[in-house]
Amino acid sequence: MANILLVDDETRMLELLTLYLAPLGYKCIAKTSAHDAISFLEEKHADLVLLDVMMPEMDGWEACREIRKHWDIPIIMLTARSEKPDIVKGLKIGADDYVTKPFDEGELIARIEAVLRRNSGKSHLLSFNGLNLNMDSYELQYNRTSIPLTPKEFSLLNLFLQNRNKVYTREHLISSIWGYGVATEDRTIDSHVRNLRDKLRKAGFAADDYLITVWGVGYKWLDKAER
């Protein structure tokens, strides 16, 4: 069953949503701020985000935009604001649906099921400036030219593209790609990153502008090239 990330600054609302969803088999991850939700997504996976609009520090509008920059995760906005301009705004910035408070339990569950159903048929494709990483076929193309990758190179590129601008230490990359407890040296990571850069470069992609070495720390993939 799907993992649902619940984001609301009201603890009682998080408890109510969990009360509705957990008995249906959904795994609920509750966060009281947008910042905490985004930090969670940087490390782990969610199948859907239930996102409150009216929150301090970072509101739901801004959080929706930020999530859309990095992840193709279904988002349902959950808020007391029911004016049509607000609904249109939410849909325009990337929300998949909009539910107003107070909501009917049955309607909320039906909308969640509908959004998950629509997204279940989507091809798992990551795209970035001409690069297309197909998660179903484990293929990479740049401007329709195939780039052969090893499984580890594919996993590295997948991790970088899904978490752009995030700095990864070599230790973190080892644990994420090779798994905990595996005896792998830092230079193994350097070798795989170097090979990945070479393959992207040979295909015509400006790998050196995006796959950046953070000296003394590790690597990151930039959302925009540094000029």
Residues 179-194 have pLDDT tens digits of: 655 556 668 889 999 9
pTM above 0.85, yes or no: no
Half-sphere exposure of 125 (CA within 13 A, CB side): 10
H helices of 146-206, in order, are 151-162, 170-173, 186-202
Q: What is the pLDDT of residue 182?
A: 53
187 burial type by CB count under 10 A (0-12 exposed, 13-18 middle, 19+ buried): exposed
125-221 carries CATH number 3.90.700.10: no
Residue 5's alpha-carbon distances to 20, 70, 181, 217, in angstroms, are 14, 16, 29, 30
* pLDDT by position in tens, the chain (length 227): 689 999 999 999 999 999 999 988 899 999 999 999 998 887 778 889 999 988 988 998 899 988 887 777 899 998 776 666 666 766 777 888 988 888 888 889 999 998 888 877 555 678 888 898 887 778 899 988 899 999 889 989 988 998 888 899 988 888 777 765 555 666 888 999 999 999 999 999 999 999 999 998 999 999 887 65
Partnered with residue 133 across adjacent β-strands are: 126, 140
Q: What is the dihedral of CA 37, 43, 26, 60, to 10 degrees?
A: 20
Q: What is the pLDDT of residue 193?
A: 95
Q: Which residue has the tokens 């484990």?
A: 138
Which CATH number fits the domain 3-120, given the four candidates 3.30.1360.120, 3.40.50.20, 3.30.300.30, 3.40.50.2300? Answer: 3.40.50.2300
Q: Are strands 125-128 and 131-134 parallel, antiparallel or unpaired?
A: antiparallel
Q: What is the pLDDT of residue 180?
A: 53
Residue 174's alpha-carbon distances to 124, 154, 169, 185, 211, in angstroms, are 24, 14, 9, 8, 17
Cα 146 to its chain centre, rounded Å, is 25
Q: What is the pLDDT of residue 173?
A: 86
Per-domain residue ranges of the chain: 3-120, 125-221
3-120 and 125-221 in the same fold: no
Cα 50 to its chain centre, rounded Å, is 14
Tell me the CA end-to-end span of the chain in Å, nearest whole number: 44
